[in-house]
Amino acid sequence: MIILSIVIPAFNSENTAEKLLRSLSSSQKVDFKQMEIIFVDDCSTDATVLKVTEFISSRNNRFSRVKVIKLKNNSGPAKARNIGVSFAKGKVVLFLDADILVYKNTLFEIVRSFSNDPDLYALTGVWDKKQRGDNFFPKFKALRDWSYWINERDPKNYYYLFSTRIAAIDRKLFLRLGGFNTDYKSALVEDIELTYRIARRYAVVFNPKAIVHHEFEGFTKIAKKYFWRSYFWSKIYRKRKKFDPVATTSKEALTTISAAGLAGVVILMTVSKIFRISVFTNYLSVLFWLFFLIHLWGVRKFLRFVRREEGIWFTIKSFITGILLYLVIITGAALSIFEIKKFKIQKSKFKS
């Protein structure tokens, strides 16, 4: 009997896929006969499939059931996951990204959670706060995400983001919901959109012991993801018209707006100084401290956490970096709003 089906979508993951499989095979306190791995290669152009098949045939592989599905066209992680689930036999489906590593007790925590709670239908875990290197931004991102999930989340929340780095769901429920929305070709908001559909009737439970390791990228790549994630989430928000604990709470929205306000005031103050315009100096100073204090209140828990972990200098850099990322986020949202308004104007002109 298969209890857990592990679905892993991958694209050009030759440097990480085998490491993930090794970490899975190193799991403890689990029955590998009750598990299967379904590896979905999304038309990779590197040696991903070769590395995976070599591992399957090696003595390091403790799974008796490992299926590799090779897609003919690059379709995106949403469709790859859906295809993987169509081959799954387990009661529970566990989604993992191909660039993470699981800890020895991670699979045990997933199985234990569903075994102990017959009313559990969806669960999400967390990636740890560690990075192997000393580069500032990856360490910042790991600490930021850890703080968001562990220190800043309200435990009273009914549901959490079904984060596909590590997320498990009852297979029948997943199929009944129709799986991930394949309109999203990249890994952007397909997890958020599915979370909203799950949460109509079921909670997405957060298990902080279901931990994986992920090495984060540099600022440019992460900022690009933030921009497009914000862009597409804004479109979803306009349909739902409410904030939530999944993507953006009202507190997060206020923190983002205050970052934009702070940056705007700094620009105006700089312009005023260059052109020696002193009329609005006092007003700008008041606005600066207002936005600064609002933003500081919004990120206070994170800054306290970072100071304990890395010290004051790292904290100052984190505060500035956080503002830059908030500006990227609000720019993505602004572009989405601008496009909608532009479309409405064009539509009204066409009708007239």
Query: DSSP for 146-159?
Result: HIIIIISS-TT-S-
From CA 338, how far away is CA 231, in angstroms rounded?
11
- For residue range 311-326, list pLDDT tens digits in order: 999 999 999 999 999 9
Pick from 103, 154, 155: nearest CA to 126? 103
Q: Which parts of the chain sit beneath pLDDT 50? A: 342-352
Question: Within 241-311, where are the H helices?
Answer: 250-274, 281-298, 300-310
From CA 156, how far away is CA 58, in angstroms rounded?
46
Amino acid 300 reads: R
Domains of the chain (ranges; CATH) run 4-216 (3.90.550.10), 250-351 (no CATH)
3-state DSSP: the chain helix, strand, coil percent, rounded to 5?
Answer: 55, 15, 30
Q: Are 140 and 317 in contact (CB under 8 A)?
A: yes
With a threshold of 0.85, does the pTM exceed it? yes
Q: Are 173 and 199 in contact (CB under 8 A)?
A: no
Q: φ and ψ at 110, to 5 degrees?
A: -65, -50
Amino acid 276: pLDDT: 75
From CA 23, how far away is CA 283, in angstroms rounded?
57
From CA 202, how far away is CA 158, in angstroms rounded?
9
Amino acid 151 reads: N
User: DSSP letter at 262?
Assistant: H
